[in-house]
Structure 1
Amino acid sequence: MTSMWKAALLAGAAWSAIAGVAVAQEAPAGEDAAVGVEQVIVTARRREENLKDVPVAVSAFSADRLERAGGTDITVLQQTTPNITVQTARGSNSTLISYIRGVGQQDPLWGYEPGVGLYVDDVYIYRPQGAVLDIFDIDRIEVLRGPQGTLYGRNTIGGAIKYVTKKLGDEAGGKVRGTYGSYNQTDLLVSAQTPIADTGLSIGGAYALYKRDGYGKNLTTGAEQYDKDVEAYRLSAEWKPTQDLFFRLAYDRVEDDSNPRHGHRETLPTVGNYPILGVYDTQAGLGDKNHVVTKGLSLTGEWNVTDAVTLKSITAHRKGHTQTLIDFDGTPLPTLDVPATYDDGSFSQELQAVYADDNVQGVFGLYYMNSQASGEFDTIAGNLGVSIADGGKVNTQSFAAFFDFSANLTDRLKVSLGARATRDSKRANVFRFFYLGATPSPYQGGAQRPILQVRTNYNAEKTFSQFTPRISASYELSDDLTTYASFSKGYKSGGWDMRGDAFITPQTVNGYKPEVVKTYEAGLKGFALDRRVSFSSAIFLSKYTDQQVTTQVVVPSGIASSVDNAGSSTLYGAEFEANAKLSQSLSANVALGYIHAKYDTFTRFVPAGAPNPLNPSTTLATGQVINVADLYGFQNTPEWTGNVSLTWRGELAGGGLAITPMVSYRDSYQQFEQPLPALDQKAFTLVDLTAIWTAPGGKYKLALTGKNLTNEKYRTGGYNFGAPTYNNSVIGFYGPPRTVAASVELAF
């Protein structure tokens, strides 16, 4: 009831803002032209279009708007976009977890593909490590909801996030920004670009350094918890030898040396007298070393063959390495300690042909990706006296052809047809070895010793193919209003469980199948009230089949993992976004999302010796497949999400002042498919405030940002190993507390 009441308040605030515009229309006629909302141009369909004309549920955020929202990295999208989860993974500072409309992927292990595609300048980011991108030197970010495989190089079953950096242009310039804030936050950003004589060549770069003390402490080692130590830079060169040719060479590198996050114990341990500490504190004894490096090189070429035809090539190579630790029991004892190493690399080539005339517009593309992902992690189980080494690698070769074309049947009616053919060939090696002694295995630098027991050791190879169509029709009700309806199919290929224990679950060697989403969507977009309001709205229905779900349960011999095609589900919901210009000095942004997500079937393999989900007081004598649809729910999918912000603009000391208060709301949600009261998050509201003063001429800028001003404590993730074997280990990870930061920027 409380959730529904808060959601109703948000919906009321949305329509109150629009009603306020109607009152504002009574302003003098001479003011009308100055208070209209700006038209938003996006490239969601690989060409520049007015947001109103795109038959896709898409949200667009300019660099200025993200700055007014106090955004420092892309997790701010979770606050500003309906029906989306974008947050830092459990135990990490820079690993990304993202969901759109209930579709995503929480597990960051190698071999698993994200359900939401992340693209930086049209280059697909293959792995989630290092993907919590800091917002600097960008032009805009676009979020596309629903399957987008007919428009993008890689499968995007749940949606896509497009991170678009600024082009260098042909003018010299740059900026320096310094920030100081709570917890000794000290950030530095430097960017500059310059043309080279009259050659059509421009070079530029951006450097960012982010430092911050931790929100808490490791009381065992004295190290900071939830600190930040990130260094990033981009270098690029753009060459435009003629009006019809453009080339861009770009290199980026991010290095994250922040301490690992060990989590907060949500329950008292069964062994030892350890108090429940502050939510950002820990008593973990595993250590505090963490190192993540990601880097990439890309070359983009565009050729305007004619006024109607443009050819484009995107070539990219990316590489990443992660060395990290998670102490799952949160005590000095080695009850459940996990040191881990990940490595990945990918090469991709995409070719596009974009066509646009007065009646037909569209894109045809070919895509190739060759990627390798490998890793190893230990599960040091002190109470069992063993160390379990899980490791392996997955090689993927992906080929795809796709197209999406629109035709004007009349002046008002447009029809779009798209399709994608995908072929993913995968090879995997998976192993799981038991070593005697609760110390790191030889894979993590421990003492060389013989394998106690081989639990898993196999090679596998499979090819997955899928045809995914999309069709839509849009109709201009007027010059200001467009309605559309669409059907799209999304697909994510299958694979193998990197934690699979073939001794307990022999079927793990067979792997899991691809998953598929079929989405029906209808929307209304445009302008209202003499273009004082721009808005977009959508309703959707998705049928989700063969869902890939990771489940881990405690058994007498350790932890049994399985990735199953759990079953099928139905998701439906609605989204509304609006920008309103209330007066010359006051504007408002509103976003509201609703989703109902329910499993139709959910089958789980439960190994022998594990509790029976339908009767937890008993254990199973033999492994069985059980339907638990009535007991399980969707993870990271709150029923209601909402955001309301106001921006007041005025003058101060001859410069421009913008003040933006923002309130965002997330309904209660589960951390995993199985409800866990000790970890699942209740509904919460975040209150933020930014004030930005820009000097006359725009050379100087001062900003003050307050985030989570009410100091809400909310979980963003957790782990559940609540059994005596692992010292009743139930740990949670939390979002940032109240912080305040001030920045100074100089443009030159």
Structure 2
Amino acid sequence: MSAFASCGARLSIAAILATQLPLPANAQSASAGSDESASGIESVVVTARRREESLQDVPVAISALTADQLQTQNVRTLEDMTAFAPNIKVNAGRATSSTINAYIRGVGQNDPLWGFEPGVGIYIDDVYIARPQGALLDVYDVERIEVLRGPQGTLYGKNTIAGAIKYVTRDIATSEPTLNVSATGGSYNQREIKVGGSIPVVDEHIFLGAAVAYLRRDGYGEIVDDGRARLYNRVGQDVSDKDVLAARANATFVWGDSSRLRILADTVQDNSNATGGQRLNNLTAAGIFHPRLNHRYDQRTDMPVDRDRFINKGVAATYTQTLTDALDLKLVGAYREGDGRQFIDFDELNANLFQVPAQYSDDQTSGEAQLTYTSDRVKGVAGVYYFTGQAEGAFDASLGSLGLTSLTKGSVDTDSIAVYFDTTWSLTDRLNLNVGARWNEDDKEARVFVAQYRGVLAPDATLFDENNLPPGFSLVAVQSNYTNDRSFSNVSPRLGMDFRLDDDLMLYFSYAQGFKSGGFDMRGNQLANPTTVNGYDAETADNFEVGMKSTWFEDTLQLNLTAFYTPYEDIQITTQQFVLLNGNPTNATAVLNAGKQVNQGVELETMWRPLSALTLVLNVGYLDAEFEEFFTACPTPTPGCRLDISGLNQPINSPDWTTFLGATYEWSLGAGDMTLHAGYQYRSATKVANTTASITDQDAYDILDLGIAYTTADERWRFAVDGKNILDEEYRVAGYDFGAVGPTGGFSQIGFYGPPRTVSVTATYRY
């Protein structure tokens, strides 16, 4: 069957089943009534502009799902949000289970090394999460999730050059006690329990709440026995499993007419085994032929897979007070820290060709003071933001066949301050002028150490220190050893207008700038590239956007349309190549301000309720992303020598088309309601690795999800059966490509895959 015919057949399945599509960035459908006439779509309140507004009133490309929608669509982690907004991609980072790799409109950050800045900002409530480790959040006790597409530099600051994802937790300040308990069992021995609740301790003044999620699942793959695996007693060990314990505590204090203090503490402990990747090429090493494994999740390795660990925790306090009828104050303070270790087998063999044990830690402290002004003609927000943090880590890169091991270690200290404002001026009853700007300055100090040693690590070895070498190790060369600092300043303006032709149709255009901070390459090799000590520059983007937000047919159809043009300057791209230094193969990584990238496209989000029982959703994203300049180092590193390979490469994670089609049908059954839902998503061919033509690149693929749920009349009990990827589509979401051959005889060409077909059963009790 042709690819076109297959796509058409699957679309037909989705349409015939009349299933529910995740609501796009729009509204929450009202519950179905008993009559067959269509009823209107209720709006969703969002805080995209740091104040509460209906989503349909915000002249910004934004998608949002409420708590009920998240439950109906079986959204279990931020990764599942990929389906529900056009031109986005969220997945676990390469060889990890809880490190987020987020791209919006073909822009993000593929490398989670300490010191590198993300391209998509992740927020828990009003707190920016600076590092991707541990940021692939599980969904529990949540009020909604918002996805803001396009640069958000004015209100959200640095590192939102592609957009932002906001994880908004549940407000517990209610007069009645609440309790929500769910238990899930499913494929691969999935067993999950989520418990959340709150209680008013002093009526209308003191509220306490807590939530915990225990999330476990066996692995999608296992360690394959090829003789050597048995030597290390690892045959059959799970890879790509899940073992996460997450918890959150909330204390809210209310006094006077408008004063509120909310204290939120959370922790995530991820004890999952390593994520298995499939070696994509055959290899003969040390006279042994290693064919590519048939199962996409199985793995060969002689490294431990059960020692990957990550823990992240934090506390935040938010104080709000109404100062006058027009002026409100908000103060936010937060502290977060994380720590982890990982064993990465780049060769995916039971032999040491290229192996890396690594460890990482970070901490951050942030504070923000914000004033919101509201009058008949002017609405706006202004604030001051401060951030200080440190990210540090170390890893050993062991090339066993050459008898060489490299140690890389270092840290980056960051102090950041910003001042911003964003206002909406009502020029007439229908015409608004939107003006804003943000000044940001980053001060960074980096310490980088890279050295190469003669010697090979044992498979179970942990990191060593340059002052305490393992037995038999000797220094070959110190390749980097420096401390340097730089400052990066930026002013990100925003200018736009929105005009309401009538109460149901708004047109808007806007210009906004995004800013991704510069920094230092923690792997930088002074011997191969002396200029690495100077770091790399900031990346900037100018976003031009026109859009329409509309409702039709007595609020039964929502149709939102966005067109954008975004040129990026000084794009930051990590390139890696192995070169000979003094006769020894050396990884000469470089983070380059590689040149220029232009993204342009169109995004359509629709929701239609032709009947009160039926909701249909269609999201379509078209993206044309290309490099205008892509400079990389010459094959033989030479100071000042760069090659433009823009014609040979394209941006990663930027498929031309992303489509989501779905439906929800609800009807009364006995003493309750049944809900049938389905969602179909299609993504065109996607480049996965920052190389020219690569075996890791992913062809077009499509995914079909189905589910059915029964809710009792009092809405206390809900029973659901959900299937994800029911056609068991095989698709790569990440990969490594160091080339098919190299100094070791064979380098890493590995693909990491999205989840297989899974089915789960969930029972939920709500009080």
Q: TM-score, normalised by structure 2?
A: 0.91
In the alignment, is residue 275 of structure 1 matched against residue 297 of structure 2? no
Q: 1:268 to 1:505 in 2, by over 3 A?
A: same
Q: Distance between the aligned counterparts of 2:560 and 2:216, measured in 1?
A: 38
Q: Any idea what the Cα deviations from partners look like across 1:326-366, whole Å, max 9, x if unmatched?
A: 10101111110011101000000011101111211010010
CA displacement at 1:697 relative to structure 2:
0.6
2:669 pairs, out of 652, 655, 658, with 652
Would the aligned equivalents of 1:102 and 1:637 in 2 still touch at CA under 8 Å? Answer: yes
Residue number in structure 2 paired with 1:371:
389
Q: Any idea what the Cα deviations from partners look like across 1:6-47, whole Å, max 9, x if unmatched?
A: 699989x99xx9xxxxxxxxxxx9968751111222111111
Would the aligned equivalents of 1:592 and 1:640 in 2 still touch at CA under 8 Å? Answer: yes
Q: Any idea what the Cα deviations from partners look like across 1:23-72, whole Å, max 9, x if unmatched?
A: xxxxxx99687511112221111111122211110011112212222211
CA displacement at 1:319 relative to structure 2:
0.1
Would the aligned equivalents of 1:580 and 1:588 in 2 still touch at CA under 8 Å? Answer: yes
CA displacement at 1:457 relative to structure 2:
0.7
Residue number in structure 2 paired with 1:571:
599
SS in 1 for 2:577: strand
1:134 pairs, out of 128, 135, 138, with 138
Would the aligned equivalents of 2:145 and 2:166 in 1 still touch at CA under 8 Å? Answer: yes
SS in 1 for 2:590: strand
SS in 2 for 1:270: strand
Q: Distance between the aligned counterparts of 1:676 and 1:736, measured in 2?
A: 25
Within 5 A, what are the aligned runs for 1:565-714?
Answer: 565-608=593-636, 624-714=641-731
1:241 pairs, out of 237, 255, 267, with 255
SS in 2 for 1:150: helix
1:732 pairs, out of 746, 751, 763, with 751
Aligned residues between the structures: 723
Range moving further from structure 2, 599-608 or 232-241: 599-608
Opposite residue 442 of structure 1, the aligned amino acid is F
Opposite residue 739 of structure 1, the aligned amino acid is T
Q: Any idea what the Cα deviations from partners look like across 1:214-260, whole Å, max 9, x if unmatched?
A: 01101231310110000000001001112311110010000000011
CA displacement at 1:675 relative to structure 2:
3.1
Q: Any idea what the Cα deviations from partners look like across 1:583-605, whole Å, max 9, x if unmatched?
A: 02111111100010111111111
Residue number in structure 2 paired with 1:719:
736
Q: Distance between the aligned counterparts of 2:685 and 2:519, measured in 1?
A: 31
Residue number in structure 2 paired with 1:255:
269
Q: Distance between the aligned counterparts of 1:33 and 1:283, measured in 2?
A: 58
Q: Any idea what the Cα deviations from partners look like across 1:133-192, whole Å, max 9, x if unmatched?
A: 001110101111111122125541111101001110232121211100000000011111
Would the aligned equivalents of 2:284 and 2:290 in 1 still touch at CA under 8 Å? Answer: no
Q: Distance between the aligned counterparts of 2:366 and 2:250, measured in 1?
A: 19
Range moving further from structure 2, 374-383 or 45-54: 45-54
Within 5 A, what are the aligned runs for 1:447-486?
Answer: 447=470, 449-486=473-510
Residue number in structure 2 paired with 1:210:
215
Within 5 A, what are the aligned runs for 1:376-395?
Answer: 376-395=394-413
CA displacement at 1:452 relative to structure 2:
2.6
CA displacement at 1:79 relative to structure 2:
1.2
Range moving further from structure 2, 548-557 or 203-212: 548-557
In the alignment, is residue 121 of structure 1 matched against residue 143 of structure 2? no
Q: 1:7 to 1:462 in 2, by over 3 A?
A: farther
CA displacement at 1:4 relative to structure 2:
12
CA displacement at 1:262 relative to structure 2:
4.1
Q: Distance between the aligned counterparts of 2:6 and 2:276, measured in 1?
A: 35
Within 5 A, what are the aligned runs for 1:411-560?
Answer: 411-439=429-457, 440=461, 442-443=464-465, 447=470, 449-556=473-580, 557-560=585-588
SS in 2 for 1:725: coil
Would the aligned equivalents of 2:38 and 2:609 in 1 still touch at CA under 8 Å? Answer: no
Q: 1:7 to 1:547 in 2, by over 3 A?
A: farther
Would the aligned equivalents of 2:689 and 2:737 in 1 still touch at CA under 8 Å? Answer: no
Residue number in structure 2 paired with 1:287:
304
CA displacement at 1:451 relative to structure 2:
3.0
Would the aligned equivalents of 1:153 and 1:350 in 2 still touch at CA under 8 Å? Answer: no
1:177 pairs, out of 176, 182, 198, with 182
Q: Any idea what the Cα deviations from partners look like across 1:716-739, whole Å, max 9, x if unmatched?
A: 111112224342431111110000
Residue number in structure 1 paired with 2:26:
none
SS in 2 for 1:75: helix
Would the aligned equivalents of 2:117 and 2:159 in 1 still touch at CA under 8 Å? Answer: no
Q: TM-score, normalised by structure 1?
A: 0.94
SS in 2 for 1:394: strand
Would the aligned equivalents of 1:180 and 1:186 in 2 still touch at CA under 8 Å? Answer: yes
CA displacement at 1:273 relative to structure 2:
2.0
SS in 2 for 1:64: helix
Would the aligned equivalents of 1:124 and 1:154 in 2 still touch at CA under 8 Å? Answer: no
Within 5 A, what are the aligned runs for 1:402-417?
Answer: 402-417=420-435
Q: Distance between the aligned counterparts of 1:189 and 1:489, measured in 2?
A: 40
Within 5 A, what are the aligned runs for 1:32-431?
Answer: 35-152=39-156, 154-170=158-174, 171-198=176-203, 200-219=205-224, 220=229, 221-222=234-235, 223-271=237-285, 272-277=288-293, 278-288=295-305, 289-431=307-449
Would the aligned equivalents of 2:157 and 2:440 in 1 still touch at CA under 8 Å? Answer: no
Q: Distance between the aligned counterparts of 2:90 and 2:573, measured in 1?
A: 19
Would the aligned equivalents of 2:321 and 2:329 in 1 still touch at CA under 8 Å? Answer: yes
Residue number in structure 1 paired with 2:30:
none
In the alignment, is residue 562 of structure 1 matched against residue 584 of structure 2? no
Opposite residue 604 of structure 1, the aligned amino acid is T
Q: Distance between the aligned counterparts of 1:333 and 1:713, measured in 2?
A: 27
SS in 2 for 1:524: strand
Q: Any idea what the Cα deviations from partners look like across 1:73-109, whole Å, max 9, x if unmatched?
A: 0111111110111111010000000111122111100
Opposite residue 571 of structure 1, the aligned amino acid is N
Q: 1:712 to 1:247 in 2, by over 3 A?
A: same
Once superposed, what is the RMSD of the aligned Cα atoms? 2.2
CA displacement at 1:676 relative to structure 2:
3.4
Residue number in structure 2 paired with 1:612:
none
CA displacement at 1:685 relative to structure 2:
0.2
Residue number in structure 2 paired with 1:25:
none
User: Once the two structures are aligned, what percentage of the paired residues are identical?
Assistant: 39
Q: Distance between the aligned counterparts of 2:415 and 2:695, measured in 1?
A: 41
Q: Distance between the aligned counterparts of 1:144 and 1:206, measured in 2?
A: 27
Q: Distance between the aligned counterparts of 1:3 and 1:284, measured in 2?
A: 38
Would the aligned equivalents of 2:694 and 2:737 in 1 still touch at CA under 8 Å? Answer: no
Q: 1:140 to 1:3 in 2, by over 3 A?
A: farther
Q: 1:425 to 1:7 in 2, by over 3 A?
A: farther
Opposite residue 735 of structure 1, the aligned amino acid is G
SS in 2 for 1:273: strand
Q: Distance between the aligned counterparts of 1:2 and 1:487, measured in 2?
A: 39
Q: 1:203 to 1:724 in 2, by over 3 A?
A: same
